[in-house]
Amino acid sequence: MPQHTVAVLVGSLRAASWSRKTAEALATLAQDLRFVFVEIGDLAFYDEDLEKDDVPEPWSRFRNQIRSADAVLLVTPEYNRSVPGVLKNAIDVGSRPYGKSVLAGKPAAIMSVSPGALGGFGANHHLRQMATFLDMPMLQQPEMYIGGAAKLLNGEGDFADVKTRALFQRFADAFAAWIERHQGASVRS
């Protein structure tokens, strides 16, 4: 199986983001995948008027990074029972202009990460609703509603317990198989 490139979008900008740390820990388990963390904090808010002339450079850079990836991984906290604005904006930028979405057809997976018990369920499923429109084949199981984020990793950034590690390993393996299954299917139906 060839090594596939996964564009990773992290929904939190703060330096000590649980989402980012969790994504980094997952990366160590995903041998068949090459994770590329894509910057989204510098993207101007989507505004169709900006498509008319030269688009903002970060938009072009972001679109190119997604275009060259085989798959997309969304890792996010939940803000107000939904997706953080910064991540939603990145998706909006990637999806446009009309008919030229760089997200269309890319196999995808979601991991929502929260210090609380609910594990970002609300953000997770709002992303899934978007993925339908975006025509991104979405991995269903294992669902990753990661709660208790503060105790997830040890001081070295590894998973603190064996059972959790096994869940993340299953997720990494399932995602790799999902990507493999969906290669060459990116023509919009």
User: To which residue do tokens 């002339």 refer?
Assistant: 53
Binds a copy of itself (CB under 8 A): choice among 3, 31, 68, 140? 140
- Asked if residue 120 lies in contact with residue 83, where contact means CB atoms within 8 angstroms, the answer is no
Output the smallest distance, CB 5 to a copy of itself, in A: 21
CA distance 122 to 78: 7
Tokens of 167: 């869940």
189 scored as a contact of a copy of itself (CB under 8 A)? yes
CA distance 2 to 62: 24
Output the smallest distance, CB 89 to a copy of itself, in A: 3
141 scored as a contact of a copy of itself (CB under 8 A)? yes
Identity of residue 47 = D
CA distance 150 to 102: 34
Identity of residue 119 = G
165 scored as a contact of a copy of itself (CB under 8 A)? no
The nearer residue to a copy of itself, 9 or 156, going by C-beta atoms, is 9
The nearer residue to a copy of itself, 141 or 156, going by C-beta atoms, is 141
Q: What are phi and psi of 29, to 5 degrees?
A: -95, -15
Angle made by CA atoms 142, 145, 146, in degrees to the nearest 5: 110
32 scored as a contact of a copy of itself (CB under 8 A)? no
Of 23, 94, 84, 87, nearest to 58 by C-alpha is 94
133 scored as a contact of a copy of itself (CB under 8 A)? yes
How many residues belong to the site for a copy of itself (CB under 8 A)?
A: 58
Site for a copy of itself in 90-129 (CB under 8 A): 90-92, 95, 117-119, 121-122, 125-126, 128-129
Binding site for a copy of itself (CB under 8 A): 13-15, 41, 45-49, 79-92, 95, 117-119, 121-122, 125-126, 128-143, 145, 147, 170, 173-174, 177, 181-182, 185, 188-189
